């Protein structure tokens, strides 16, 4: 008998026999199995399992596996899949149940695709079940090109949506995972892209614990996220992918994280090449392992044996780092075929299925935000003369965002508009401008006069993945993915101005903004009759928009990020202080506030009532508010609750989101919405990073957007009640 023929049955017995561990919990039994597998590996085999592209261990029956897969808003970079809206659009839905359903659909498709890939021995990148999503960084500055990947600027909204997505991805089995989700990029990471490989983020302790960490803590504690990805940048001088404070002290020891930690791709190279913390790959790899990293996306870990030879690490350190990786594969049921895993055998019919396409359309419709409507929407379908203009109207790339999959069905805006109007409606189209600004913006343009003279002009302006995104991905960005200004490209503004100057009296101008970040809409808002923020809505974006335009659905999207008026009034991009940032700390410079969005019809918010009589320090506080749909169409209200603490505006946020609820009301229907505010949600973060309940006056505001002066100017409903603790 050969050694290989002896070992394989032994290992198979270890993994398929449950009787030996009948008295142990499933998790304890699997930890024992992981230790037994590691004990049989050579040092070289162990090291080979700690980089994203693993060759497997053939003599132990372990197949190759690449840990790097993407599923930001659908299974990505892996062929056919349903393409859902970009996360910034999903954040605009304020609908965690929807986000859970999307996560569940994504992991169903991922499981089916994984099985199909393995059936043809395809072990390549992006075919695995460890999805490096969601991105729960805080969109603290609207110039950041990757802000589109996030759920917005608010830690509570981000944590809520991220938790739902992770739960949808990972399934509900107490031990096994349908797929592994990943909280990234840990931590204090949100641009600029140009310096992410060398930048040192030094936030205050207050900002760290109040803004940058809460969403990660929630995903670890509430969602039991399986993977955490370290960021490229340094935090307090240490690489985020090699920080003992972040990866061990905080993540594992304080929060109780049980999964594995992966570096961002090439981040170990940055430890010596970008940050100059270490002299070479071996030293950098040792720093990362000692800090608590388990897996490298990259190949610097090839030097781990050298690090051991130098005495920087021991083989026991390697064993400790490898164990969580083996455990993840056991939870997925893929280290060896595990008959107890409940997620085998998901039918390939779920991939790009009609039900998933319908879910994508629902999500796209709920994501779009109506910013202005001078009583021209919704439209009748028998309108006479329509002109559609702008490259995004026919560009499928304007639907995708980044980190996207490939669908076999894309609904463009032009296709959808022409399919929704009557057969007797005159519809014409010209792109009018190039998405990349031309050198000469003044040539003759037939689209100008035609757009200005139509009864209804649908003008598509904004960005796509060539002008904003990740480093080296947005090839036309002026700053390696980021935007230097919130203004629209000059050629787009030039076209808009020409049309505006030539408009006939009967022309109605509807502007649709594409992209994943705020733009300066001050000039547009002065002229346009309606403005819609469409984001990157995914494959069903065209039909979703048309259904909204023509009243088949009602707008319910709300802004997950503040739209500033100008770039100039923003803090410096690389300043990680939250002063002057987001609705919580901005004074002025607000075009559209966080949480804002219009719907058809109208609703009345009654008085906000404090139900908790004479609350004391440490008590929960309950409030309720009646809401009535006084219009003639069904509408969904996103009722938002904000807390202002005793030092609001004097070191503490002006207000902070603490709860929200979507309420759908038929015409004439009333409903009372009740909220409970916990003591933790009333705490103020101090300069040392600790959160305290303080004596003093508190204010709870419930309404349709964040309580800012701009919100009041826009006439949005805000109802408040104050009390002392």
pLDDT at 13: 43
Residue 662: inside a domain, yes or no? yes
> Same domain for 554 and 618?
no
> Same domain for 333 and 361?
no
pLDDT at 433: 87
Secondary structure letter of residue 280 according to DSSP? S
Domain boundary among 530, 561, 592: 561
pLDDT tens column, 232-270: 999 999 999 999 999 999 999 999 999 999 999 999 999
Residue 264: active-site member: yes
d(CA 496, CA 511): 10
> Same domain for 555 and 674?
no
> Same domain for 325 and 379?
no
CA nearest 160: which of 250, 254, 94?
Answer: 94
Secondary structure letter of residue 100 according to DSSP? H
> Same domain for 513 and 643?
no
**Cβ atoms of 196 and 473 closer than 8 Å:** no
> Same domain for 529 and 618?
no
Give the CATH number, domain containing residue 378: 3.40.50.1700
- The count of structural domains within the chain is 3
Predicted confidence band at 275 (pLDDT cuts at 50, 70, 90)? Answer: very high
Predicted confidence band at 446 (pLDDT cuts at 50, 70, 90)? Answer: confident
d(CA 671, CA 554): 19
- Domain of 663 in residue numbering reads as 603-724
Residue 119: inside a domain, yes or no? yes
Q: What are phi and psi of 293, to 5 degrees?
A: -75, 145
> Which segments of 635-722 does DSSP mark as H helices, in order?
709-713
pLDDT at 445: 83
Predicted confidence band at 438 (pLDDT cuts at 50, 70, 90)? Answer: low
| Run of H or E residues at 604 | strand 603-605
Residue 162: inside a domain, yes or no? yes
Catalytic residue among 108, 141, 207, 264: 264
pLDDT tens column, 577-587: 999 999 999 99
Residue 187: inside a domain, yes or no? yes
pLDDT tens column, 486-521: 999 899 999 999 999 999 999 999 999 999 999 999
Give the CATH number, domain containing residue 704: 2.60.40.10
**Cβ atoms of 683 and 692 closer than 8 Å:** yes
Predicted confidence band at 404 (pLDDT cuts at 50, 70, 90)? Answer: very high
d(CA 367, CA 539): 13
> Same domain for 374 and 470?
yes
pLDDT tens column, 28-60: 999 999 999 999 999 999 999 999 999 999 999
Residue 502: inside a domain, yes or no? yes
d(CA 329, CA 53): 14
d(CA 210, CA 643): 14
Quote the crossing angle between the two packed helices 541-549 and 354-367, to the nearest 10°: 50
Domain boundary among 509, 544, 561: 561
pLDDT at 23: 56
**Cβ atoms of 333 and 340 closer than 8 Å:** yes
> Same domain for 609 and 669?
yes
Query: What average pLDDT does the chain have?
Result: 94
pLDDT at 2: 40
pLDDT at 15 over 90: no
> Same domain for 70 and 215?
yes
Give the CATH number, domain containing residue 195: 3.20.20.300
**Cβ atoms of 265 and 298 closer than 8 Å:** yes
Is residue 430 classed exposed, middle or buried when 0-12, 13-18 and 19+ CB atoms within 10 A define those classes?
middle
């Amino acid at each position: 008998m050969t050694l290989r023929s002896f070992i394989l049955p032994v290992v198979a017995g270890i993994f398929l026999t449950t009787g030996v561990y009948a008295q142990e919990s499933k998790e304890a039994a699997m930890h024992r199995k992981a230790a037994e597998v590691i004990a049989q590996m050579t040092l070289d085999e162990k090291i080979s399992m700690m980089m994203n592209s693993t060759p497997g261990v053939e003599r132990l029956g372990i197949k190759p596996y690449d840990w790097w897969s993407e599923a930001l808003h659908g299974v990505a970079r892996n062929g056919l899949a349903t393409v859902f809206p970009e996360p910034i659009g999903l954040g605009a839905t304020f609908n965690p149940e929807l986000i859970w359903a999307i996560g569940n659909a994504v992991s169903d498709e991922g499981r089916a695709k994984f099985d199909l890939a393995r059936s043809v021995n395809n072990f390549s990148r992006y075919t695995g079940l460890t999805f490096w999503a969601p991105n729960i960084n805080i969109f603290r500055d609207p110039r950041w090109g990757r802000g589109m990947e996030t759920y917005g600027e608010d830690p509570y909204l981000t944590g809520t949506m991220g938790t739902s997505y992770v739960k949808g991805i990972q399934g509900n089995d107490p031990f096994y995972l349908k797929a592994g989700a990943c909280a990234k990029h840990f931590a204090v990471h949100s641009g600029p892209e140009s310096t992410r490989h060398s930048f040192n983020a030094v936030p205050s302790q207050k900002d760290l614990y109040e803004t940058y960490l809460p969403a990660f803590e929630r995903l670890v504690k509430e969602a039991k996220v399986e993977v955490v990805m370290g960021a490229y940048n340094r935090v307090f001088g240490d690489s985020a992918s090699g920080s003992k404070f972040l990866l061990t002290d905080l993540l594992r020891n304080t929060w109780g994280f049980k999964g594995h930690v992966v570096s961002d791709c090439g981040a170990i190279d940055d430890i010596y090449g970008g940050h100059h913390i270490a002299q070479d790959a071996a030293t950098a790899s040792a720093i990362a392992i000692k800090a608590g990293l388990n897996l490298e996306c990259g190949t610097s870990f090839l030097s781990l044996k050298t690090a051991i030879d130098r005495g920087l690490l021991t083989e026991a350190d390697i064993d400790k780092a490898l164990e969580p990786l083996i455990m993840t594969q056991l939870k997925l049921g893929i280290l060896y075929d595990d008959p107890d895993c409940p997620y085998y055998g998901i039918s390939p019919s779920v991939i790009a299925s009609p039900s998933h396409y319908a879910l994508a359309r629902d999500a796209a419709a709920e994501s779009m935000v109506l910013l202005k409507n001078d009583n021209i929407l919704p439209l009748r379908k028998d309108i006479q003369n329509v002109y559609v203009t702008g490259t995004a109207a026919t560009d499928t790339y304007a639907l995708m965002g980044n980190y996207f999959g490939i669908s076999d069905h894309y609904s463009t805006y032009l296709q959808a508009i022409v399919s929704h109007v009557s057969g007797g409606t005159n519809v014409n189209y010209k792109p009018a401008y190039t998405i990349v600004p031309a050198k000469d913006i003044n040539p003759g343009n037939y689209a100008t006069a035609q757009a200005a003279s139509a009864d209804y002009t649908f003008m598509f302006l904004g960005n796509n993945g060539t002008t904003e995104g990740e480093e080296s991905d947005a090839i036309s960005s002026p700053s390696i993915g980021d935007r230097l200004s919130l203004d629209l490209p000059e050629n787009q503004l030039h076209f808009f101005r020409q049309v505006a100057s030539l408009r006939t009296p009967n022309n109605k101008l509807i502007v649709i903004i594409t992209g994943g970040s705020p733009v300066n809409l001050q000039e547009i808002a002065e002229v346009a009759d309606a403005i819609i923020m469409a984001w990157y809505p995914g494959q069903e974006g065209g039909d979703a928009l048309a259904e909204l335009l023509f009243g088949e659905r009602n707008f319910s999207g709300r802004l997950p990020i503040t739209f500033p008026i100008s770039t100039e009034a923003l803090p410096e991009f690389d300043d990680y202080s939250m002063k002057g940032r987001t609705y919580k700390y901005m004074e002025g410079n607000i075009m559209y506030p966080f949480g804002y969005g219009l719907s058809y019809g109208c609703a009345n918010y009654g008085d906000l009532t404090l139900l908790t009589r004479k609350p004391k320090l440490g008590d929960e506080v309950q409030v309720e508010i009646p809401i009535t749909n006084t219009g003639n169409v069904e509408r969904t209200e996103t009722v938002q609750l904000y807390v202002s603490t005793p030092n609001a505006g004097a070191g503490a946020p002006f207000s902070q989101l603490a709860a929200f609820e979507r309420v759908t009301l038929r015409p004439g229907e009333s409903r009372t919405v009740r909220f409970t505010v916990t003591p933790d949600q009333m705490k103020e973060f101090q300069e040392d990073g600790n959160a305290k309940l303080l004596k003093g006056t508190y204010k709870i505001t419930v309404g349709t957007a964040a309580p800012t002066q701009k919100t009041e100017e826009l006439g949005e409903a805000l109802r408040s009640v104050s009390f002392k603790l």
